[in-house]
Structure 1
Amino acid sequence: MPAALKRSLCALCCCALLCLCTACSGLEGTVKEEPNTASPAAGNIPAADKPAASGIEIDPSAQSGDYDYNTINGDDAPQQGYYTPISLTHGFDALQTQPQQYFYKRLTSDVYTVAQQPNEGGNYLIEKIHLPGMYLKEEEIRLVIEAFSSDHPEVFWLDNLFGYTFDGTDMVIQMYSIISPETIDIYTDEINAVADSMIASVPKGLDEYERERFIHDNLLARCTYATDTKNIQQNWKPFTVYGALAEGSAVCEGYTKAIQYLLRFVGIESIPVNGTAKEQWHQWNLVKIDDCWYHLDATWNDSTDYIFYDYFNITDTIIQYDHRIASDFFALDPDDICGSVGKEAQLFNITLPSCTETAANFYIHEAVILYGFDEKASAAVENKMLQTALEKKQELYIQISNSIAYNEAVEGLFYQAPYQFFTYIDHTNSLLGGEYAISKENVRIIKKERLRIVEIRLEYI
């Protein structure tokens, strides 16, 4: 079947083979089939690479030099909005020992104290974290840093590096900032300005699904995929909430951090997920809607022209069609977590909840189910089309029931008798009152057979 079939309206009976029209039905129009390019933001370019953090054992007798430290403001909370912000604690809740929890709590305060001058390596020292009378193995240090980062997307300045030492009694951990404290304050103000505006624009009275979609759509309208960023060493900003919000350019981690950061301020919990897609490192979100968890991949929903929803609140089973979830920390050996000779450290997740529900899936919410072409089934689609047209929305989603063959249904809707979709348009237009109408001459469709969805783009005249 060609990608686009043109059928001209005829008053007289024309040759069906030449005109591709329904004989005397007067229902045919023009259909243009577009490729299914969900995952386009990163789908056609190499994914930006972020290796696991580098950990180094430091000499306890070495002097780090004399540095003056500044305390960062750390005011990350937008000041406006109708919804109550929540604290993110998934990472902390997974920590099992008192030294792990103590290190985490010290991070929550000490990451805001940063040296004014860089060291010889160009990093800015964060105030050393002392763990008196405690000891953590390197894999535990990595666990706590991941837990902290997972709960604090607003802390965007941490370098992908840490050092540690143990003198037999006490442990000292050294964290690093990529930028100076003055720059951190400036960038934080820029993030807050964007977040203030976005959170203040979330309408009052939305349920959790509606809030999530509002944040998702507004972020994707603002942010584009940083196609020129190959790795975090080249450019760290697209990996952060700063890149996504302040600069409007991010890779998958930046999208993930921004989604998590914004959802927090409308009362929705989210967790970053480490994994791979197309055999390259990738990150996306788990989102908790009405006490159920779902996968949300905002990066793969983004595109140059459209916002897609194929990865909006999907199950573990669906996400694993083209994503691979990294192993759980507690299932890995220390050499896997920390790396060893000839073996790189692995990225991991921290005890992710299962995602098995479908109630908050985008297509469950937004698509109308097509069971056939009888009067009852047609009425359901026509009602959805009328609702779409009254709001002048461009997107209409039809989910083909498992009771009918997907391709046969698409043919019957658009390409051969009964050309049912154009009947829907005629009936809907008759109810619109004549001020405007749905065009039959430029109907664009995207077939998504795996999801049994037909996405239709409407135009109005």
Structure 2
Amino acid sequence: MKQEHYYRQMNKSQQAAYYAMMEGFLAISPEFDVPRLENRDLTDIFFRLRLDHPEIFYVNTFSYRFTDIGDSVRMTPRYMFEKKKILEHRKALDARVTRLVRQAQGLTPLEKELFIHDFITSNVTYDKLKKQYSHEIIGPLAQGIGVCEGIAKTVKILCDRLGLGCIIAVSDADPDKGVRYRHAWNLIELDGKWYHMDATFDNSLGRYGAKRFDYFNLSDRQIFADHRPSMYLIPECGDSRRGYYIENRLALTKTEDVGKRLKAVARKGQPHFVFQWRGGYLNRDILGAILEEAAQAAAERGKEVYMSMNPGQMVIELTLKDNGDGGSGESRPAICVEQADEGDIDERERMQ
């Protein structure tokens, strides 16, 4: 199920340019005609086309020139590879997606989403060097690295193949507020409702090794607690009850429950307990009480507890270690504040 969300937002002239570009890119044509529009419009269509169609991973940018035909321009794409190499990459990536999708056949929609999320968090490393191919599906699927754009596109192409409604959302940069890059994440449709899912942010969390779901099926209110608004119109996400921690009964409201749950985790020999705090604002007193409960529960098992928190989503990770086990020997604060990696879509879309 291909979700052409951005195509549906365009007028007829823009849609004609959209499909002319798509046909030319899929054919790997050296140049082709598209309807004549303003430079800004063509650049925007080019950007949004590749959000709808992550399989077009091999086009960097484009230039164009005016022709004798007054209602069109001649577009010249700039491809990342020569044609033979593009065909090889397309075949390899299609085979990779097919193998992954085969593993998720027969799952429920939520289980498919979890499968995709797990693939990203278990197999993709955030590329802090921001290599060119990390912005496209070739990074996560072929190289095991990616930035938010490439990760969001990979989530979409897997959702498309698994029949899940999926949209890539993009927020703009704001240098005045220290936000240097755009950021991309996904919206997923479940049972006719839309939810935010940011696999990039989850992949950057887990200081002590726990798998995180802080940004899994959030409402607008929840995601925009620490995300900038979308550049483009996206569906409303009004349901806050499908978040991972809520659905899995990992949302706590009482500090004493933290100790009880951590004891149960320790008895099972599990090293991590991650939960969402829903008992009001996480002020210094509440954090202190949570840490005290956790420390007492850990001490009963001869353990020490290490605590990290994601303040934007009020998620806390507690990790149990043997007494005196300092890991790498680094000095560990009683409470570590984790910051998810920010956005990374650069200005490659600008005309050369």
Fold match (TM-score > 0.5): yes
Q: Return the offset for 1:164.
A: 4.0
Q: Percent identity?
A: 19
Letter in 1 for 2:254: G
Match of 2:104 among 173, 183, 202: 202
Q: Return the offset for 1:423.
A: 5.5
Matches within 5 A, 1:323-362: 323-325=227-229, 327=231, 349=232, 351-362=233-244
Match of 2:121 among 220, 227, 248: 220
2:17 corresponds to 1:96? no
> Tell me, which stretches of 5 or more residues in structure 2 are unaligned?
323-352
User: Retained in 2: the 8 A contact 1:316–1:355?
Assistant: yes
> Tell me, which stretches of 5 or more residues in structure 1 are unaligned?
1-85, 116-124, 230-234, 328-348, 427-438
2:87 corresponds to 1:185? yes
Match of 1:136 among 21, 37, 41: 37
Matches within 5 A, 1:234-383: 235-274=131-170, 275-276=172-173, 278-290=178-190, 291-303=192-204, 305-325=209-229, 327=231, 349=232, 351-372=233-254, 382=261
Q: Which has the higher helix share?
A: 2
2:273 corresponds to 1:396? yes
Report the secondary structure of 1:150's partner residue. Answer: helix
Alignment TM-score, normalising by the size of structure 2: 0.75
Q: Return the offset for 1:168.
A: 5.3
Letter in 1 for 2:106: K
2:9 corresponds to 1:147? no
Match of 2:27 among 113, 117, 122: 113
Question: Partners of 2:50 and 2:225 in 1: how far apart?
Answer: 27
Q: Which has the larger radius of gyration?
A: 1
Report the secondary structure of 1:204's partner residue. Answer: coil
Letter in 2 for 1:144: I
Question: Partners of 1:373 and 1:157 in 2: how far apart?
Answer: 51
Report the secondary structure of 1:227's partner residue. Answer: coil
Relative distance call for 1:365 and 1:395 in structure 2 (3 A) is farther
Relative distance call for 1:451 and 1:110 in structure 2 (3 A) is closer
Letter in 2 for 1:356: G
Question: Partners of 2:105 and 2:59 in 1: how far apart?
Answer: 34
Report the secondary structure of 1:358's partner residue. Answer: coil
Question: Partners of 1:405 and 1:170 in 2: how far apart?
Answer: 59
Question: Partners of 1:199 and 1:87 in 2: how far apart?
Answer: 15
User: Retained in 2: the 8 A contact 1:289–1:360?
Assistant: no
Q: Return the offset for 1:356.
A: 3.1
Letter in 2 for 1:170: D
Relative distance call for 1:243 and 1:370 in structure 2 (3 A) is closer
| More moved, 266-275 vs 439-448 | 439-448
Q: Return the offset for 1:289.
A: 3.0
Relative distance call for 1:276 and 1:297 in structure 2 (3 A) is farther
Letter in 2 for 1:141: L
Letter in 2 for 1:266: L
Question: Partners of 1:90 and 1:244 in 2: how far apart?
Answer: 23
Q: Return the offset for 1:203.
A: 6.1
Relative distance call for 1:440 and 1:153 in structure 2 (3 A) is farther
Summarize deviations over 1:290-330 as a string: whole Å, max 9, x none: 23333332222223855433333333344444432354xxx
User: Retained in 2: the 8 A contact 1:209–1:360?
Assistant: no
Q: Return the offset for 1:250.
A: 1.6
User: Retained in 2: the 8 A contact 1:90–1:151?
Assistant: yes
Letter in 1 for 2:143: E
Question: Partners of 2:194 and 2:263 in 1: how far apart?
Answer: 30
Summarize deviations over 1:88-123 as a string: whole Å, max 9, x none: 2101111112x32222223332212235xxxxxxxx
- Structure with higher RCO (Cα < 8 A, 6+ apart): 1
Report the secondary structure of 1:129's partner residue. Answer: strand
Question: Partners of 1:92 and 1:413 in 2: how far apart?
Answer: 48
Question: Partners of 1:236 and 1:455 in 2: how far apart?
Answer: 33
Summarize deviations over 1:331-367 as a string: whole Å, max 9, x none: xxxxxxxxxxxxxxxxxx3x22233321222222235
Question: Partners of 1:405 and 1:258 in 2: how far apart?
Answer: 34
User: Retained in 1: the 8 A contact 2:245–2:251?
Assistant: no
Relative distance call for 1:171 and 1:359 in structure 2 (3 A) is same
Q: Return the offset for 1:151.
A: 0.9
Report the secondary structure of 2:6's partner residue. Answer: helix
Relative distance call for 1:162 and 1:362 in structure 2 (3 A) is farther
Letter in 2 for 1:444: Y
User: Retained in 1: the 8 A contact 2:276–2:316?
Assistant: yes
2:309 corresponds to 1:447? yes
Question: Partners of 1:368 and 1:159 in 2: how far apart?
Answer: 43
User: Retained in 1: the 8 A contact 2:55–2:137?
Assistant: yes
